[in-house]
Every structure is written in structure tokens, then in C-alpha cells.
Amino acid sequence: MRTPLSVRMFQSLPRTAWLALAIFAAIAWIAIPAAHLLLPESSPFHVSAYTVTLLGKILCYAVVAVAMDLIWGYAGILSLGHGVFFALGGYAFGMYLMRQIGTDGSYGVALPDFMVFLDWKALPWFWVGSDSFLWALIMVVAVPGLLAFVFGWFAFRSRIKGVYFSIITQALTYATMLLFFRNETGFGGNNGFTDFKRILGYDITSPQMRLVLFGLSAALLIAVLILGRYLVTSKFGRVLAAIRDAESRVRFIGYQPTQYKLAIWTLSAVLCALAGALYVPQVGIINPSEMSPANSIEIAVWVAVGGRGTLIGGVIGAFIVNLAKSFFTVSFPDYWLFFLGFLFIGVTLFLPDGVVGLWRKLRGKRAIEDTDTPTETPADAKGASA
């Protein structure tokens, strides 16, 4: 009777989705590396280092978008502070990267350059262990996870929701940004971390490392999509949808909405942090401006553009907006903000279900509002009740 978890996870995605993921994996893990390493630069199919980095970066953003969709699209909680978790993940891994520079910095000593500049003599206590790769991975998950847990615990416990919650998450990222701007905080102030040299002793700028990071980003995205799909089709996901619809009813039938929200909120934050940790070595810099409220709210627009309540929508939105961004900022820098601004307005006014919703409508399928409710369970139910 009981189906093993792995099977259920497998079943939670339709066959076409598995096919799409397989094609995506083949492109990310085989085609792009081959085109980057093997084809000569003169070939029209050569993928440049710039493109690999750009795509890798957007893959990280896509993970963030899916994480955002999990809480916004499925649980109805709009966070305007997800940038802080992304950045904290980045900082946690950045600390390790700074330590990997070793004595190759401008001052030729083991301390990171900015500490020498501040005339510090030793590493502060919270840098202890940062030279260990394993420790860095633990911190990537633990620090943003703990922050999200504590913040969420306070917020959900006192039933802060809707716009109030959005505003205080914005205050959270703003406050953290101010904190990280200070030199005394110990994370490089304005300039943050940069000039990375190595990961695990390997050159961070080599094409191989670039492809490894890119491949890992793709793997993370695939994993997050499968996990996300499983979650939203499980009973857990249905409770979340129920909380979004009528939270007090959920409480009166005996669920603790606080715990459900806290679980998905913390998970979402941790996913963002993982994306941040992969993002930093690819772009080679992390600084407090990643935590600016504008960055966090942009994440919401990726999801809105793609279509919220559809995990793939986040991925599509992240790609559309960020490809447009790299196009505009290079070709028409003055118009980028106009484009982004009108995108915010246009999507909310004319495309409430995003690109995915539009596509469904064009295909004549009745767009299921907000959620893509699983179709298996009711069908089974009918069988049982008949």
C-alpha cells in the first residue's frame, strides 16, 4: 500500500517534465561544456566564458526564483527580503574564498586584505574555521537558515501577514545591508569580498572550474525543481494552499499554520543561500548591495513574469528578466530601469498569471488559478468513492 518516497518523488512530476529536465541536464552538462572547451573561438557555436558565467549566474537566480515561488506562489507569503539570504549564503562561502587567497593578496599576508587595511592583527572570532571547505558549506546553510528561522518564528507566531510581513522583510534586508556596509562588522564593508583565487586549491578562473560551477548550478536547479514539485503536490503543499486561502480555518481544524509557514520559509531561505554560495565564485564578488531592498523586490518580479504558483514560471521569469537586463545594460543603459519599471506594471496589470499563464491560455487550456493543483488525488478519490 505505502509507496516508497523515491517513487512518489518520481511520480510527482509528469513524464514530459522529466523529459524536459533530462534535455536541460544534457545541455548544461554536455553541450555547453563541449561548446566552451572543444570548439574554437571562431566557431559560431562556441560558447564564450562570458556566456557561461552569465548563464551560470542566471541559473543561480532561477533557483532563488523557485525558492521565492514556493513561499509566494504556494503559501501566499511575499518576501521582500530574500536577497538577504542569498547574500548571506554568498558571504558565508565568500569567507572561505577569502581564506583561500592565502598570502597571495596585495599585502602578502595571511589576513584578508581589508583586515590589513583596517589594521586588524588577527581574524575576528566569527572567522574561525572559515578556511575549511566543509565548515563553509555548513555555514552557508546554517547562518541564513537560522536567521530565517528566528525571524520567521517571531513573525509568524504573532500572525504578521500580507503586506505587513512584506514590509518587515524589507526592513530586515535593509538593516542587514546597513550592518554589512560598516567596516567594523568584519565583512569588508562597502567593497565586500573579491579577488578570489582558488577553490579547494584549484584555480577559480580556469575554464574547467567555470564549467564545474556552472554544472553545479544546473544540478542545484534541477534538484530544487524536483524537491519543490514533490512538496507542492504532497499534503504539506495542500496545507500551505489552505493557509493561503483561509488561515483561520486551518487553525480551527487543528493545524499549526505557524509551523508550516516556518518550515517552508526556512527551506526557501536555505535554497536561496545555496544559490548565493554558487553565485559568488562565478561572478567573483559579493558586497552589501546584494542586500539592497531593490534586489529583493526584483526577485518577486522574476516570479511574477514567469507566473507564480508554477515552479517552472520562476525559472522562465529569471531567464527573461536577466537576459533582458544584460542586453539593456550593455546596449541601452538609460532604458533598463524604464523597461524593468514597465515590466513590473505590465505584468501585474495584464499578465497576472505570467508567461506560463499566457501560454496555457493560448493553448486553450483552462488556466488553473494560481496553483497547479495536482490532478492525481481527486481522480483517485473519485475511484474510491464510486
Partner 1 sequence: MSTALSQKLDAVSGNASGGHRVNPGELDLSHKVILYLDGISVSFDGFKALNDLSLTIDAGELRAIIGPNGAGKTTMMDVITGKTRPDSGTAFFGQSLDLTRMNEPEIAHAGIGRKFQKPTIFEQLTVFENLELAMKTDKRVWKSLFAQLASDERDRVADTLQRIRLVDEADRLAGLLSHGQKQWLEIGMLLMQEPRLLLLDEPVAGMTDEETERTAELFVSLAGKHSLVVVEHDMAFVEALGGKVTVLHEGAVLAEGDLATVQNDARVIEVYLGR
Partner 2 sequence: MRCVGSGQQLKRSNIMPPSLFHRLRLLCLVLCCTIGAAHAAPSPETLAKMAEDDSDSRIEAIAELGAEGSAQSVAVLDALADEALALTGAGRLVILTDTGALDAATGAAIDPYPDDADALMINNRIRRALQSAKAATNIRATDRSTRLAAALQLRDGADEALMPLLEPALAAEQDKEIRAILALAVARVNLASELPAKRTRAAELLGDSADASVKFMLTALLEKDGNGQFAEPDAGVRAAAKASINAIERRLAIADLASTAFTGLSLGSILLLAALGLAITYGVMGVINMAHGELLMVGAYATYVVQGLFRTHLPEYIDSYVIAAVPVAFFTAAAVGMLMERTVIRWLYGRPLETLLATWGLSLVLIQTARVIFGPQNVEVANPAWMSGGVSTYADIVLPWNRLVIIGFAIFVLLLVWLMMQKTRLGMFVRAVTQNRAMAGCVGVPTARIDTLAFGIGAGIAGLGGCALSQVANVGPAMGQGYIVDSFMVVVLGGVGQLAGAVTAAMGLGLMTKILEGWAGAVVAKILVLVFIIIFIQKRPQGLFALKGRFVED
The answer to whether 126 contacts partner 2 (rule: CB under 8 A) is: no
What is the rounded CA–CA span in Å between residue 323 and residue 325? 5
Residue with Cβ nearer partner 2 (237 or 293): 293
Interface with partner 2 by CB under 8 A: which range of 32-40, 50-58, 121-129, 338-346? Answer: 338-346
Q: Which does 35 bind (CB under 5 to 8 A by kind): partner 2, partner 1, none?
A: none
* Least distance CB 361 / partner 1 (angstroms): 18
* Least distance CB 256 / partner 2 (angstroms): 16
The answer to whether 248 contacts partner 1 (rule: CB under 8 A) is: yes
Among 60, 64, 98, 231, binds partner 1 (CB under 8 A): 231
Interface with partner 2 by CB under 8 A: which range of 104-112, 120-128, 225-233, 332-340? Answer: 332-340
The answer to whether 160 contacts partner 1 (rule: CB under 8 A) is: no
The answer to whether 372 contacts partner 1 (rule: CB under 8 A) is: no
Residue with Cβ nearer partner 1 (246 or 337): 246
Write the binding mask 267 to 296 for partner 2: x where contact by CB under 8 A, - elsewhere: --------------------------xx--
The answer to whether 242 contacts partner 2 (rule: CB under 8 A) is: no
The answer to whether 331 contacts partner 2 (rule: CB under 8 A) is: no
Q: Which does 5 bind (CB under 5 to 8 A by kind): partner 2, partner 1, none?
A: partner 1
What is the rounded CA–CA span in Å between residue 308 and residue 370? 7
Spatial neighbors of 17 by CB under 8 A, at least 6 apart, are 229
Q: Which three cell numbers stand for residue 130?
A: 572559515
CB 314 within 8 A of CB 321: no
Among 22, 49, 128, 157, binds partner 2 (CB under 8 A): 157
- Cα–Cα nearest to 301, from 351, 256, 335: 351
What is the rounded CA–CA span in Å between residue 85 and residue 120? 28
**Phi and psi for 178 in degrees, rounded to 5?**
-60, -40
Cα 239 to the center of its chain, rounded Å: 23
**Phi and psi for 199 in degrees, rounded to 5?**
-125, 125
* Least distance CB 384 / partner 1 (angstroms): 4
- Cα–Cα nearest to 305, from 256, 351, 367: 351
- CB neighbourhood size of 207 (10 A): 13
Buried b (16+ CB within 10 A) or exposed e, 326-364: eebeeeeeeebeeebeebbeebeeebebbbbbebbeeee
| SS3 at position 63 | helix
**Phi and psi for 285 in degrees, rounded to 5?**
-155, 150
The answer to whether 153 contacts partner 1 (rule: CB under 8 A) is: no
Write the binding mask 321 to 360 for partner 1: x where contact by CB under 8 A, - elsewhere: ----------------------------------------
What is the rounded CA–CA span in Å between residue 274 and residue 287? 17
| SS3 at position 199 | strand
Q: Which three cell numbers stand for residue 154?
A: 517571531
* Least distance CB 127 / partner 2 (angstroms): 21
Chain residues in the site for partner 1 (CB under 8 A): 1-3, 5, 8, 231, 234-236, 238-239, 241-242, 244-246, 248-256, 259-260, 263, 369-371, 373, 377-382, 384-385
Chain residues in the site for partner 2 (CB under 8 A): 78, 151, 154-155, 157-160, 162-164, 166-168, 170-172, 174-175, 178-179, 181-182, 247-248, 293-294, 297, 300-301, 304, 334, 337-338, 340-345, 347-349, 352
